[in-house]
Amino acid sequence: MSKISDDLESELLNKETFYYQWVSLKENRTDKNKNAISVTVTKKVSTACTVKEVICKANSQLNDFLRHVYTAHHQFIHITNLKRMLRDNEAVILLDFSENYECKLSSEVQSVHFGASKKQTSLHTGVVYTRNSNSEPGMACALQPMRTSFCSVSDSYRHDTWVVWAHLQPVLNFLKDKFPEVEIIHFQSDGPTTQYRNKTNLYLMTHFANSFAMKEVTWNFSEAGHGKSSADGVGGSVKNCRQGSRPWSRYLQC
């Protein structure tokens, strides 16, 4: 029985199978002037292998995956407790760029539907969390924090650090006017290096912290693919606005 089991296990491990994997590839294409150009595209590629090779590849990536899950779980608990335990002089700002909104016209000629004729707008969305004014001392965890959603709109497609703070200044002005007691701000975002996770952003953070008389400012970067649900919800609500229903002015702080 033992030999039969070993033979069966060996046969199963050496059985041919395949798996899909996202990879970045170079492709040769031609532009509108028929010049040869090289572009990078992301494709889901099928890779042939044996069952044993699939198991070995999964085991080699298991530690990184578990570390990723643990970090995301720990960050979620930390930011949730931070929002629930907010003091009167603290605020949490969760922010993220939404996918660009493609503008539409009520009446369009056929050529508008082709090429790059349609204009786009850039949306920077987020939520400001502050202490609920109805909570009593010692009841920090009893009530959810007060939430104020915001969305700023720009015709610029840039998403770099300078544009981030151009979008944030109206939000900080609004926060200072409506909640003048706030002196500590905790920013929460994902970690793309072109937008938030770079030295220029940290420099501008200290600059505007002094400009708005903040005593303390922190910036927390979430794991890739986690921590943007509230900002994504604001972007979805703004894009789903229809003429004659909910006006955009209710959602925009420009």
The domains found in the chain, sorted by start residue, are: 2-61 (no CATH), 85-103+120-250 (3.30.420)
Residue count (the chain): 254
pLDDT for the residue numbered 247: 47
pLDDT for the residue numbered 249: 42
State the Cα–Cα distance between residues 22 and 44, nearest whole angstrom: 4
pTM: 0.76
Query: Would you place residue 94 in the very low, low, confident or very high pLDDT band (cuts 50, 70, 90)?
Result: very high
| pLDDT tens profile 230-251 | 888 888 888 887 544 444 444 4
Task: Say which range, 32-41, 61-70, 135-144, has the weakest mean pLDDT.
Answer: 135-144
pLDDT for the residue numbered 128: 93
Mean pLDDT, all residues of the chain: 83
pLDDT for the residue numbered 139: 53
pLDDT for the residue numbered 219: 93
Closest C-alpha to 87, from 42, 159, 141: 141
pLDDT for the residue numbered 227: 63
CA dihedral of residues 34, 35, 39, 43 (deg, nearest 10):
30
pLDDT for the residue numbered 101: 82
Mean pLDDT of 171-198: 91
- Whether the predicted pLDDT of 137 surpasses 70: no
State the Cα–Cα distance between residues 71 and 63, nearest whole angstrom: 12
pLDDT for the residue numbered 248: 46
